[in-house]
């Protein structure tokens, strides 16, 4: 294969890549909560999901242990996400989920649920 053909194939592959690339949008969501009144939290974990079916089944495919802080800024990649926080005790027991925070295209809402 000559150089001209190689350049042409490379250009076609490059165009194909750009034509079928889905743009990813990221947004920072600031979360803040009160420490639990009963029990001792050793740390907190933030869970989030981009799929509504996972939320309905309380399955969150993403999580991060953020330590013993009561605020966190989570970077969301996409248009929609469901977010909860749990307290973790020293023996690694997780509390019930907090209220669900729903992020949708820059708007934030809260659904019913149990607070920490």
Spans of the chain below 50 pLDDT: 3, 5-23, 113-116
> For residue 51, what pLDDT is reported?
78
Backbone torsion region of residue 99, taken as left when φ is above 0, otherwise alpha when ψ lies between -120 and 50, otherwise beta: beta
> For residue 2, what pLDDT is reported?
52
pLDDT digits (tens, 9 = 90+) for 8-21: 344 443 334 444 44
> For residue 36, what pLDDT is reported?
77
Superfamily in which the 23-110 domain is placed by CATH: Immunoglobulins (2.60.40.10)
> For residue 15, what pLDDT is reported?
38
Best CA proximity match to 49, nearest among 36, 39, 58: 58
Pair type for strands 43-49 and 80-88: antiparallel
> For residue 52, what pLDDT is reported?
67
> For residue 9, what pLDDT is reported?
43
Domain extent listing, the chain = 23-110
- Can you give the pTM of this predicted structure? 0.70
């Amino acid at each position: 294969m000559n150089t001209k053909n190689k350049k042409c194939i490379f250009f076609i592959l490059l165009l194909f890549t750009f034509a079928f690339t889905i743009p990813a949008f990221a947004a920072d969501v600031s979360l803040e909560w009160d420490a639990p009144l009963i029990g001792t939290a050793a740390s907190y974990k933030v869970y989030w999901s981009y799929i509504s079916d996972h939320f309905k089944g309380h399955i969150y495919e993403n999580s991060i242990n953020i330590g013993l802080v009561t605020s966190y800024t989570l970077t969301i990649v996409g248009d929609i996400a469901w977010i909860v926080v749990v307290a973790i005790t020293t023996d690694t027991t997780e509390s019930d989920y907090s209220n669900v925070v729903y992020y949708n295209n820059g708007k934030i809402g809260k659904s019913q649920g149990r607070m920490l």
